[in-house]
Amino acid sequence: MSQSGKTVHLQDYIHIVKKRFVFILFTILFTFSATFLLNHLLSPIYSAEVRLLIEEKLQDVNITRNSLLPFQEEFFDTQREIFESDPVFEVAVLELDLHNKVKKGSILTAIKARVKSLLGLDYDLSPEQKKRHSIENAIKGLRKQVFVEAVRGTNILIITAEDKDPVQVKKIVNSLAKSFVERSLYLKNKDTMDASTYLKGQLKSVYEKLTKSEDKLDVFQFTEEAISLDKRIEFLVEKQIIVAEKELEEVEVDLEEEREKVEVFHAQVGKERGKKSSGSFGTYKILKEQQLLLELKKNELRRKFTNQHPDVIAIAEQLSLLKSRISKEDKSSKKGEQQAVSEFLQSLEKEFSEAQRNYRVLSVRRDKLTSQIDTHKDKLKKLLNKKSDYLVLKRELTANEKLYELLLKKEKEVGIESTLKVGHVKIIQKASLPVFPIRPKKLLNLVASIFIGFFLGVGVAFFREYMDISVKTKTEIDALMGGYPLLGVFHEQEILKKEKHLLPSITFTNPNSMLGESFKILRQNVQFLMQNNQKTFMLTSSLPSEGKTTIATNLAITFAMSEKKVLLMDCDLRKPKIHNYFKTKPTNSGLLQTEVPGLYLFQAPKIENFGIYLESDEFISVLEEAKNEFDVILIDSAPVNLVSDTSSLIAQEIPLLFVVGSGHTTEEQLSRSLESLKILKSNVAGYIISRLEMKNIPKEYKAYYESYFSD
């Protein structure tokens, strides 16, 4: 992960946690203590539940209603809404007298009442209205305590209530369950009564229809002779129609045979007459033969068509004309008829006449049979129509009888059900007295508070680290310092954070410590700068608390312990404090001698105009005398960015040792300090990094430092 051009590793996060460990621990303790206090301040909340079985279908008595109104899939949700209705909660409120319980008024309630009064919203209510208002408020409050949950895949409702009083919560949930059962029973009985009223109305209507059906059937049986219709139909079909049709078939066969005989005799008689006959008698015979042929043809057509067919009508007209002509010829032939036929011809004519007579008799018989069959069929059709009407009336009567019986049975069942106190909602598990509260879960809260405190502390630590824009690493400081040489690096040790009073003289009390060795390295680097006969060095920084004074005192001690005569001048005139770090005694020259051999202190006098003193002849003379008497002179000055005192010293061209406190100064502040030094044309001999975190020590050296320089 990269931020501001820096690569951040997991080790950096671990370091932040270690660095802010005290704060994180404090956050954990704070959240744990707050949770512990809340556990004791919060009132315990108890919970009780009732389980109800909601049957999807009503009892058998209500099957009639179900058949009239189709079952709805939303039935289960409907029952749930019935439970959450006002009537159910109102019964529980009145039973437990919840509307008369006085609640402690809070400041917010008092303010709300006062505002209503000022706005004119405080109405004068009658006692009945006040009672109703208190009941509605109690219902609203009770709804907040009650929860309804459906068990997935079942018809079971779980009613749960919460309250501070375990006895009260048990009463609430049991009262609600009882009220819901009674409400469901009431609604079911109401449905039963509605069904009973509906069934009675239907019974009356169906009974009227049944009576009308019976009357219609009786009238039909006596007026339409509907009794023994099946026997009459059977007799008509088997004894009359079938017999007539069979006889008609036989006549048709005989008629066909006689027709063939007539045709044969006709041909023979015609042949003999052509030989023997003459005159009008011959004409008469021919006309008779034509009449016979037309009658044969007419009979054939009638077998195929009715009398109204055009061909049958045309043949009938021809026969009528032919008969009138034959009548005329018959009258003329009687006046002058001559006997000129032989015995053979007379015999043929006799047989021919007999055949014609038989043919006519059979034709008449066939016509009578055909007419008789048609009459029987018309009669059969009427009988069948009567039977159809009879069956319709019979079915209507049967249907009304069955419907009347069904409605009568259901009406009796409804009457029985109305006397029963059985509903479709059953309590399968009543609420018992709760033993332990459900809230607060003290142990869980305490455990959770530890984790919450830890993550909160870590989060705040990372946030503070993220918001910290100060320069922290050696790489960042080197980049900002440009080409100035690095003279020393001092790491901040955790052990010394608790013993800060040891830092100003750590090189005297523990010269072989890690910091002691670091100051020895700094001394060697400063001695390298002293090759040009330079004795005086000034230490400054951008801001206070960057370790400038600590470095000045310890560097002075290090020089003194190397058998140098050192003068440490406290020129931070506004806050002089170096004399507090040593045991001192005054000398004849006005300096202070410390317990460190060879180390002397210069404490500036108390003055008001600080900048003028550092430029005065008095201070310059003291500095010149010190150069002659001491091997090393270290001046501890004020921060560059705060006061102008340091500018007076810089103007004297004293080499400057610039201290940069890691994690204390920002990039902007350090850049402003360097810009000021550049403007003043200061002689920056080098810079020193202080308070650098231990994480920036290379791994290969860290173990060495910790083991060897731990003394």
The pLDDT score that the predictor gives to residue 33 is 93
The pLDDT score that the predictor gives to residue 468 is 72
CATH number of domain containing 491: 3.40.50.300
Is the domain of 404 the same as that of 478? no
Question: Which has more confidence, 354 or 26?
Answer: 26
Q: How far apart are CA 658 and CA 480, in angstroms?
A: 13
138 assigned to some structural domain: no
The pLDDT score that the predictor gives to residue 34 is 93
Is the domain of 378 the same as that of 488? no
Q: Is the pLDDT of residue 60 over 60?
A: no
Q: What backbone phi and psi angles, to 5 degrees, belong to 207?
A: -65, -40
Give 601's strand partners: 568, 592
Range of the domain at 633: 470-708
What does the pLDDT look like over 421-437, one tens digit per residue? 667 788 888 989 998 88
Give 666's strand partners: 470
- What percent of the chain lies above the pLDDT cut of 90? 12
The pLDDT score that the predictor gives to residue 380 is 79
Query: What mean pLDDT comes out for the span 275-280?
Result: 48
Query: What mean pLDDT comes out for the span 311-315?
Result: 77
Closest CA to 471 of 2, 19, 1, 5: 5
Give 52's strand partners: 157, 427
The pLDDT score that the predictor gives to residue 282 is 57
Question: Which has more confidence, 604 or 628?
Answer: 628
Residue 318 is inside which H or E element, if any? Answer: helix 310-335
When mean pLDDT is compared across 55-69, 81-95, 104-118, 161-175, the lowest value belongs to 55-69
The pLDDT score that the predictor gives to residue 494 is 59
Q: Report the predicted TM-score, pTM, of the whole model to 2 decimal places.
A: 0.49
Is the domain of 650 the same as that of 535? yes
The pLDDT score that the predictor gives to residue 255 is 77
Chosen domain end from 368, 390, 414: 414
Show the tokens assigned to 685: 């001999």
When mean pLDDT is compared across 53-67, 245-259, 375-389, 618-632, the lowest value belongs to 53-67
Closest CA to 191 of 75, 61, 83, 53: 61
When mean pLDDT is compared across 106-115, 330-339, 433-442, 638-647, the lowest value belongs to 330-339
The pLDDT score that the predictor gives to residue 243 is 80
The pLDDT score that the predictor gives to residue 322 is 76
Question: Which has more confidence, 95 or 268?
Answer: 95
Question: Which has more confidence, 410 or 561?
Answer: 561
The pLDDT score that the predictor gives to residue 395 is 87
322 assigned to some structural domain: yes
Q: Indicate the residue type of 521.
A: I
676 assigned to some structural domain: yes
Question: Which has more confidence, 109 or 687?
Answer: 687
Q: Is the pLDDT of residue 337 over 50?
A: no
Q: How far apart are CA 564 and CA 530, in angstroms?
A: 13
Is the domain of 386 the same as that of 506? no
Listed in order, strand segments (DSSP E) in 434-560 are 486-492, 536-541
Q: Is the pLDDT of residue 710 over 50?
A: no
Is the domain of 251 the same as that of 334? yes
The pLDDT score that the predictor gives to residue 448 is 92
Query: What mean pLDDT comes out for the span 313-319?
Result: 78
180 assigned to some structural domain: no
Is the domain of 261 the same as that of 378? yes
Is the domain of 393 the same as that of 474? no
Question: What are the C-alpha distances in Å from 64 to residues 68, 80, 113, 200?
Answer: 6, 24, 56, 12
243 assigned to some structural domain: yes
User: Using 50, 70 and 90 to split pLDDT, how confident is the model at 47?
Assistant: very high
Chosen domain end from 414, 438, 462: 414
Q: How far apart are CA 493 and CA 19, in angstroms?
A: 11
The pLDDT score that the predictor gives to residue 77 is 77
Top mean pLDDT of 116-130, 292-306, 539-553, 611-625 is at 539-553
What does the pLDDT look like over 106-147, one tens digit per residue? 677 678 777 777 776 767 778 888 888 889 989 998 988 899
Q: Indicate the residue type of 123.
A: Y
When mean pLDDT is compared across 68-72, 128-132, 154-158, the lowest value belongs to 68-72
127 assigned to some structural domain: no
What does the pLDDT look like over 448-473, one tens digit per residue? 999 999 999 889 888 877 777 778 78
Cα dihedral: 111, 113, 119, 125 (round 10): 180
Is the domain of 537 the same as that of 662? yes
Top mean pLDDT of 71-80, 381-390, 395-404 is at 395-404
Show the tokens assigned to 411: 């009406």
- What percent of the chain lies above the pLDDT cut of 70? 82
Is the domain of 266 the same as that of 336? yes
Question: What are the C-alpha distances in Å from 267 to residues 104, 271, 274, 290?
Answer: 139, 6, 11, 12
When mean pLDDT is compared across 41-55, 347-361, 695-709, the lowest value belongs to 695-709
Q: Is 162 in contact with 438 (CB distance < 8 Å)? A: yes
User: Using 50, 70 and 90 to split pLDDT, how confident is the model at 506?
Assistant: confident
When mean pLDDT is compared across 360-364, 430-434, 541-545, 582-586, the lowest value belongs to 360-364
596 assigned to some structural domain: yes
Show the tokens assigned to 190: 């109401």
Q: What backbone phi and psi angles, to 5 degrees, belong to 433?
A: -70, 120
Question: Which has more confidence, 91 or 221?
Answer: 91
Is the domain of 499 the same as that of 357? no
The pLDDT score that the predictor gives to residue 106 is 60
Question: What are the C-alpha distances in Å from 539 to residues 488, 543, 597, 683?
Answer: 13, 12, 22, 12
Q: Is the pLDDT of residue 342 over 80?
A: no
Q: Is 510 in contact with 629 (CB distance < 8 Å)? A: no
Average pLDDT, the chain: 78
Give me the number of domains the chain comprises.
Answer: 2
Burial of 494 (0-12, 13-18, 19+ CB in 10 A): exposed
Q: Is the pLDDT of residue 29 over 90?
A: yes
595 assigned to some structural domain: yes
Q: Is the pLDDT of residue 334 over 70?
A: no
What does the pLDDT look like over 507-548, one tens digit per residue? 887 877 788 888 889 899 998 888 878 889 999 998 888 888
Closest CA to 517 of 496, 488, 549, 546: 488
The pLDDT score that the predictor gives to residue 4 is 44
The pLDDT score that the predictor gives to residue 49 is 93
Listed in order, strand segments (DSSP E) in 170-212 are none
Q: How far apart are CA 503 and CA 663, in angstroms?
A: 18
The pLDDT score that the predictor gives to residue 207 is 85
Helix (H, G, I), strand (E, B) or coil at 227: coil
Chosen domain end from 391, 414, 437: 414
Q: Is the pLDDT of residue 202 over 80?
A: yes
Is the domain of 601 the same as that of 667? yes
The pLDDT score that the predictor gives to residue 173 is 92
Query: What mean pLDDT comes out for the span 687-708?
Result: 63
Is the domain of 393 the same as that of 490? no
